[in-house]
A and B are shown apart, each in its own frame.
Chain A
Amino acid sequence: MALRYEYTVETEDLAKYYKMGVYIVKALDGVNLKIRRGEYVSIMGPSGAGKTTLFNMIGGLDRPTRGKVYIDEVDISKLDAYELAWLRARKIGYIFQTFNLIPVLSAMENVMLPMIFAGVRREERIRRARELLERVGLGERLYHRPTELSGGQQQRVAIARALANDPAIILADEPTGNLDLQTGLEIINLMRQLNKEKGVTIVTATHDLKMIDVSDRIIYLRDGKVERIETRAEIAVEAEEF
């Protein structure tokens, strides 16, 4: 159905400045990135390096001060509110550190929500939500509400929800930040498996070193600029040297 583009995400001289009183904080300052379809990319860097700002820009959640973001070769700064909403619903899946499930809805209803916005038929919504929740290992917990689920389980629901409309890209902001070591590892492995299985591009902003093992590329941000980019081959070589 959808056309296949070589690059899922491209940024061109992307910058975002915030005004803090008389100071101007350069959260992002001229970032150029090209992320290929099906890639698993981690964005790393100390806090305040601009990871979350980059996440917001790529996700169409905030407007850049300067520069461009292309998702599937469409410049998203040219989209109006309606088209942006469509893009968020259909093209992008979001995963957050704090899970951000809707607390009053069950796991099934949370996964069905983006499909409602996308206009998917009810029977199809139910079938697909069940299938996705079973895939992430929550087949037994379909009708539980977020408060009745553990952190790891909530993040699994969030992953299922992010995949609901078969997006081109999944953006994950510190997906393991609120999870213990073992659970975090399970979530990382699940994301990697889904990345391989469904060919969905995954971009994570993270502090978590466990993420390095599964990433195809790692982008290091510092002070709003790309410090360096490492591919997996390079990292493997480095690891051997030690």
Chain B
Amino acid sequence: MRKFYTLLTLNLGSQMTAEIGEIRLPVSEAFYISIQNVRRRFTRVAITTASVTLGIAFFVSLMMMASFQAQTGGTGIQPYMYWLLFISLLVCGVGITNSMLIAVAERYKEIGTYKCLGALDRHILEMFLIEAMLVGGIGGTSGYIIGLVAAIVYAFANPAVGITTAFSSLTQPNPAVPLAGTMPVALGLLLLGIGIAVLLSLIATLYPAYYAARLNPADALRYEI
């Protein structure tokens, strides 16, 4: 297409081809816009983040409780727990997708405007995916904290475990924790929790972001909320 156009304009003796320059959105600028979106649309983002937070809190607390039990000779991590975790994260992912689709619908006009100002499809995609990463990061961190607190409360309230066992097991590796079995449980689950949160949020946002990026600017601008 480009080549054809070049030939055509050269034949016409126009200099437009030479004029066609670069269009770009540096990552730093996309990041800045996404951060502003997260800050200024706090309620919307908080709802999306809550979904991530709950999923990760469940994951972290379950893994920690199982680690405590393993140390006191209990059952430890059982296969059915992975099924539970899978389902909980799936529900959480659907929640994020739903919330992001609404975020896209709210911003139809804005997306149309970005495109009028020169944004390419991939710039729109990039902005939404960066936002998803931020949501994942924040949700993962807060989920970890809530999960940790829940696990400690559990240890405190359960005489068979006790607070001392809980702290000693948090600082030791538990090989049963997937992917992070060689790290102390507290650290391993922090990294794993944030990792899963970011990945989950990215995957769940992929469809809404792709949909937003493909919008025809004329249609996007016409949209009234």
Contact = CB atoms under 8 A, between A and B. Distances in A.
A82 B120 contact: yes
Interface string B98-140: 0000000000011011111111110100000000000000000
Given A61-B218, A102-B113, A81 B120 contact: yes
B81 to A, nearest CB: 41
Interface stretch (B33-41, B154-162, B198-206): B33-41
Contacts of A83: 2, 5, 20
B39 to A, nearest CB: 8
A72 B15 CA distance: 10
Interface stretch (B22-30, B59-67, B173-181, B187-195): B22-30
Contacts of A78: 4-5, 8
Nearest to A147: B40
Contacts of A104: 33, 36-37, 39-41
A73 B14 contact: yes
Given A2-B19, A61-B217, A117-B25, A81 B117 contact: no
Contacts of A72: 16
B62 to A, nearest CB: 37
A232 interface: no
A90 B24 CA distance: 12
A86 B23 CA distance: 6
User: Size range of the interface on B?
Assistant: 35 or more
A59 B217 CA distance: 10
Interface stretch (A92-100, A215-223, A234-242): A92-100
Contacts of B2: 80, 82-83
Main secondary structure of the interface of B (DSSP, over half): helix
B73 interface: no
B118 A88 contact: yes
A92 B118 CA distance: 10
B67 to A, nearest CB: 42
A25 interface: no
Contact of B26 (A74, A82, A98, A116): A116
B9 interface: yes
Contact of A82 (B12, B16, B19, B23): B23
Contacts of B33: 102, 104-105
A238 B29 CA distance: 53
B118 A114 contact: yes
Contact of A80 (B1, B112, B115): B1
A105 B21 CA distance: 26
B16 A73 contact: yes
A3 interface: yes
Interface string A166-197: 00000000000000000000000000000000
A158 to B, nearest CB: 10
B216 interface: yes
Contacts of A117: 23-25, 117-119, 123
B23 A85 contact: yes
Contact of A100 (B5, B40, B113): B113
Given A78-B5, A88-B118, A98-B109, A116 B16 contact: no
A102 B110 contact: yes
B19 A119 contact: no
Of A61, A62, A101, which is in contact with the most chain B CB atoms at under 10 Å from its CB?
A: A61
Nearest 8 pairs between A and B by C-beta? A89-B118, A117-B118, A62-B218, A104-B40, A61-B218, A104-B36, A56-B218, A114-B117
Interface of A: 2-3, 52, 56, 59, 61-62, 72-74, 78-83, 85-86, 88-90, 92, 94, 96, 98, 100-105, 113-114, 116-119, 145, 161
Given A82-B23, A105-B33, 11 more contacts: A61-B115, A62-B218, A74-B16, A78-B8, A88-B116, A88-B118, A102-B113, A104-B33, A104-B37, A117-B118, A117-B123
11 contacts: A3-B14, A52-B222, A82-B120, A86-B21, A89-B117, A92-B116, A100-B113, A102-B114, A117-B23, A117-B25, A117-B119
